[in-house]
Structure formats: C-alpha cells, structure tokens
Structure 1
C-alpha cells in the first residue's frame, strides 16, 4: 500500500517538470478536513496523508471561462489540488474515501469503484518519494507486536516520482447549484502493484511509478480500451529506487518538514532488515 508520501515540490516547479499547460492550484476547492490543512494545500508537504488536498496532474477540457477556450483546443494538461481518498460518483457520502486511498493494479479494471476511472480518468501524483513501514522480524514493541520502522523510498536518479493515480468527481446533493465549487469534491487514489525485489523486504506492495515516456498515454482520456490500460498498468523493471530508514516521527501526521527525509541514525534502529541485503542491520536477537 501507499499511505504517506512527500509532496515537497512547489506548483511552479511541477508545472515545468510535468509540462503543465494550466495551473489551477490557486483556485478554491472543497476539503473534507474539519480543521485547516497544515501545511496549506499547494505548499510543500513532507508528510502527505489521506484526506489532504494534494497537487495532481491530469488532462481535462478547458472551461468556457479559460482564455484559450475560444481557440477550440482539446483537453489540456492541468495541475489541480485533489483530495486523497477516492469517493465514487455513486457514493452516498464522502466517508468511503478513507478506505480508497489505494487501488490494486491487478483488479482496478474490474473493481466497481475504480473501473470507470481507470479507463477515462487517470492522473499523475507527483512525489519526491513515499514512506513505507517495515515490521521487524526480531523486535517487538511494548504491546508485543513487531516493531515498525518507517522507510523512505525514492528514485535513484534523484527525479520526482510520478505515481499512477485515478480521480473521480462526487456531487454533493445538499448543495443546490452545480455551479457552486463547493458542490463538487474531486478525489484521487494511488495505484499500487507488487513490490519489486528489495522493496518487498519493507512491504509487499508499492505505488505504480510511471516513467516520463508513459505519461502522455496514461493521462490521455482517449486511451479507454481495457487492453491498452492494462498494458499501462505493467510496472517497469526493478532497480529504479533506493530505500533507507527514517525517523519514526513520520508516523505522526502532525510531523512535517524536510527533516523527515533525513536517514535515521543507527542508534535508533532496532531489528531493521536491510532492503538490499536482507541482513538485520541493528538489534538482532
């Protein structure tokens, strides 16, 4: 699964990196959070958690209010703030989103909640990398459960990850006018696949990360054939990522800042398995 990631880039940087034509991150959007989001949406967030609004790249038609609408241009690549945790259009309320932060690549084309979005509403979720928790095979916590050590996983080449995502629109029947921005909640989920060798020593799942040459087809609303989408869901070969243990502070969604990406000092590691070698690197019993 993918339950936390680092969205540490500014919108201006994402616009350039992902060749975005329209930046909508400054527009008001509906949030499901009770309290104001911290850090604010659209600013660097080193501990992105479900239910937060996050920058997402997608391809959509222009609105009539857009300057270029009169030119008759087709769908354009946009950067928007979407809520993490997909709420299907048929859902009775938004609570279902907390159970749909991830979608399995092997079942996404058949699952009722994801199948339509998988064919027509795909997106990219920019991330510096993601966090995953490893259950220790040798050390337990105070409750007798395996001690969980967070790791940060990033691309070896230092570029941002483009996590494969799906998005959906949900209409709130309690809001009278569909023209009211608060009548709509736009949400997304991150597609996951089997973890590659090495990373599977941390967790058995990982996000599906798309390389730049796959972005255009993944984002294209014209690619709707199930076989074509299934081909896009196949992960690239192993060796693109590196992983290292980080502070357990990331386990609290109140923790934030670039310090979360720093490697954890050896004295903080207990019963941790090296993802590359499989050896216990500290606290062996």
Structure 2
C-alpha cells in the first residue's frame, strides 16, 4: 500500500469512529500524524474534529499550526475567512484597510442591500489575518497565565500579545503585573526581543525600584549565568542591575518600531515554543 493510500485509510478510519468513539478516532489521527507529519489532510481532519466538538483551544492550536506549515493550502484560508466573517470579530480588519473590490463586486453590493449588520470578508493576506491569530493565541495563553499555578512563559506571551490594539488590553496587563508582584519574581528571556510598548516598559522598570517592590526580574537572555559572573551586594546583583538599565534604555529607543513587524517576528521566530506552551 502506498503512503498516500495509507494516509487515506487512517483518515477514513478516524471519520468512521468520530461519532461512536471520539477518543479512538483521535488516537488514529495522532498515529497518522506521527507517521506522516507532512500530510496536510491528516492535520486538517484533526482540526475538523476538534472544531466540531467545540474544543476551541485545541482547534485554534491546530489551525495556527496549519497556517504556519501549510500557508499555500486554500482550505486553511477558507477556514480563517469563515471565522473572520462574523461581526463578533470586528476590529480584526486594520483601520482604513478595506478589501479591494472589482466593479462587479461593487455592483453586487449595491444590488444586494442587507438589513442589519453586513458581513465582511477579509483579504487573504498576513496583514489581515495576523490580528486574528494574535487574538486566538491570547485567548489560549490566558488560560494558563492566570491559573493558581505559576507559568511565567505563558504570562510573558500574554504581555507580548497585549501590545496589539493597546490600550484595549491595559486592564489585563495590570492583572499580569499584579500576579508578578504576588510571585515576587518573573522570568521571561524574550522580553527585550518583543516588548516595545512604552507603558509596559515603564511599568517593568518601576517593579525594580524600592517603591515597586524590588521585584526580581529575569528578562535578559542567560541572566542566570550572568549573575554568577557579577559581584553581589546585599542580595542585589550590581552588574546585572546595570545590564538591565542599559537594556531598558535601548528598548525605549525601539518604541517607534513597527509593532506589526515585531509581532510577526514573534509568531515566526518563536513558533516552536509557542506551540509547546499552548494549553
């Protein structure tokens, strides 16, 4: 049996089991994906099962994975377009960026006036789709970041993602700061790679001060190693403190950097760690 026929058989078997034994169906697809990780149909079938079962977090993770690994698949863009059609997600369309319409499209709109709210189809471009992906990831990471257990990685991802559409997420950011204060420390070594929001930078700089609680922040790459190479006085690392100050000053100079580009780099460069840390 060829590899293609093997894949088709595994997918077909999973479909047959979905209604009577969802766990068995999922097991068949996990096995199929392990054997054929580059097969799009297997991953799409996994997404459909999770979507139909209304398991939003896992469906979102699978859709994001397909978006990254199979960007040329029309079905992926169709799924994203269907989701972003709903007015519930208005605000995903960048300001003053309406889809280009042909004369035929404009005529059709004029002849088909609707009552109530109209639906909008987003163009299949990264500039239109990325905001949706950012909101989807934020929804997933919030589940882990604000539980009773500690998860600095998820909390750091939340801080990065909240820069989108700032200050809309300011209250959630302050909630994240409160959790950091309760913990007394926070470690996120990608902070200076992707956090350029001036309000956030000021808040984190304040946390290091006596008034801010002298919160122990490990935001520099390999900071644990740096501590071992600096002189420590009264429990405060002088060298690391100076490194932090200089890094913060450099970061302030990046506040004018294009946020879309920063967040796009975050999604691409941190793909593996993002997928691993999703709930």
Output the TM-score relative to the length of structure 2. Answer: 0.22
Which structure carries more helix by proportion? 2
Which structure carries more strand by proportion? 1
Output the TM-score relative to the length of structure 1. Answer: 0.22
Which of the pair has more CA radius of gyration?
2
Higher relative contact order (CA 8 A, sep 6+): 1
